[in-house]
Structure 1
Amino acid sequence: MKKMSPQERQKLIITTLESASTPITASEFAEKANVSRQVIVQDVSILKAKNEPIIATSQGYVYLREKAEDSVQRRTIVVRHTPEQTLEELYMIVDHGVTVKDVSVEHPVYGDLTASIMVSNRKEVDLFYEKLQDPKASHLSSLTEGLHLHTLEADSIEKIEAACRELERAGILV
């Protein structure tokens, strides 16, 4: 199998992500294109520089589709907890049908630091949490004594409010 040109790979990445319902890893693209994972990471960086709405999540790459604004409810919440409570916190949120888009902290030097999470169910939470167990990985909230923000999304504000009530009962919501 011959290697694809950069243009062919980038077209493959965009068309595949646009039609995918789940994240796709760089390794999966590398196998399809007969190149290394690092070549795909570089291709994605080029596509992002061209304003393609691709984000890297803990499960792989996703293409951000424009959703009808009236169908998606969004709220940013402030939480504080220990690293050991991360799994419990994320389960509380996704169990209410809410997606955790990202995590943000305020760094004294770099300002706001935001990382994509994009978890919507327990399986995605488990995969994300598993990656956090790597000794080279660390929680962004470790920079702020556990204080951090999440952007939440759901198809109704009631789902977000229910998740927030549960976080509040657990002493996690600030």
Structure 2
Amino acid sequence: MDGEVRRQKILKEIQGSESPVSGTQLARNFEVSRQVIVQDIAVLRAAGNEIVSTCRGYICQGSHRASRVIRVKHTDDEIMEELNTIVDFGGTAEDVFISHNVYGTLRAELGIRTRKQVMDFVEDIKAGQSSPLKNITSGSHFHTISAESEEILDAIEEELRKKHFLDEQETVDGKKEKVV
């Protein structure tokens, strides 16, 4: 198969997938090595395609999606509820990051857009594979969330507010202010 044809098929497969597509799976599907896939992804990115590498595989991040950064705070036991709230409203938790006084910004790509991915993520944490990044900053952390529209992001934010997950500060006049 011609390299350009393969790259277009790879792009179509990633764009059409509801979940991240692993490099190993792409290599198997196109009968090439994993290294060829990595090179193809680099060529596709250079051509302007917004392909993001996550711990679970490649996803396309189209410019048609709205995104925003939110600051949240919750316990370890509430991670699943927080992430399920985001995906249930049609959002994707693109990443998690903290702002640390010594280390600066520490960020991890997530690409979580389904309940199954939420469950897998929480199970990995509970299995002791890692501890949540938020624990470095007493629970306060940020997510970049994306969705098909600003209205969906507004609905996600409102639901997180109702559940007291948004980390907001009061202003002098007593109004709540989102800290971003």
Aligned to 2:122: 129
- CA deviation profile, 1:86-128 (whole Å, cap 9, x unmatched): 1000111221122222111113343112222222232232233
Q: Once the 2 structures are TM-superposed, how far is the Cα of residue 80 of structure 1 from its aligned partner?
A: 0.6
The alignment covers a number of residue pairs equal to 161
Moved more, 45-54 or 130-139: 45-54
Preserved contact between residue 59 and residue 128 of structure 1 (Cα < 8 Å): no
Go from structure 1 to structure 2 and tell me whether the alpha carbon gap of 1:19 and 1:131 turns closer, same or farther (over 3 Å shift).
farther
Q: Once the 2 structures are TM-superposed, how far is the Cα of residue 30 of structure 1 from its aligned partner?
A: 4.4
Matched, 1:111 2:99: no
Q: Once the 2 structures are TM-superposed, how far is the Cα of residue 132 of structure 1 from its aligned partner?
A: 3.0
Distance 1:48 1:143 in 2: 36
SS of the residue corresponding to residue 29 of structure 1 reads helix
The aligned amino acid for 1:93 is: I
Matched, 1:154 2:147: yes
- Per the normalisation by structure 2, the TM-score is 0.70
SS of the residue corresponding to residue 90 of structure 1 reads helix
Match runs of 1:8-157 below 5 Å: 12=6, 14-20=7-13, 21-22=16-17, 23-32=20-29, 33=31, 35=33, 39=35, 43=39, 53-67=50-64, 72-157=65-150
CA-based RMSD: 3.2
- Identity across the alignment (%): 30
Unpaired runs of at least 5, structure 2: 168-180
SS of the residue corresponding to residue 24 of structure 2 reads helix
Distance 2:103 2:43 in 1: 25
Distance 1:41 1:98 in 2: 28
- Per the normalisation by structure 1, the TM-score is 0.72
Aligned to 1:5: none
Unpaired runs of at least 5, structure 1: 1-7
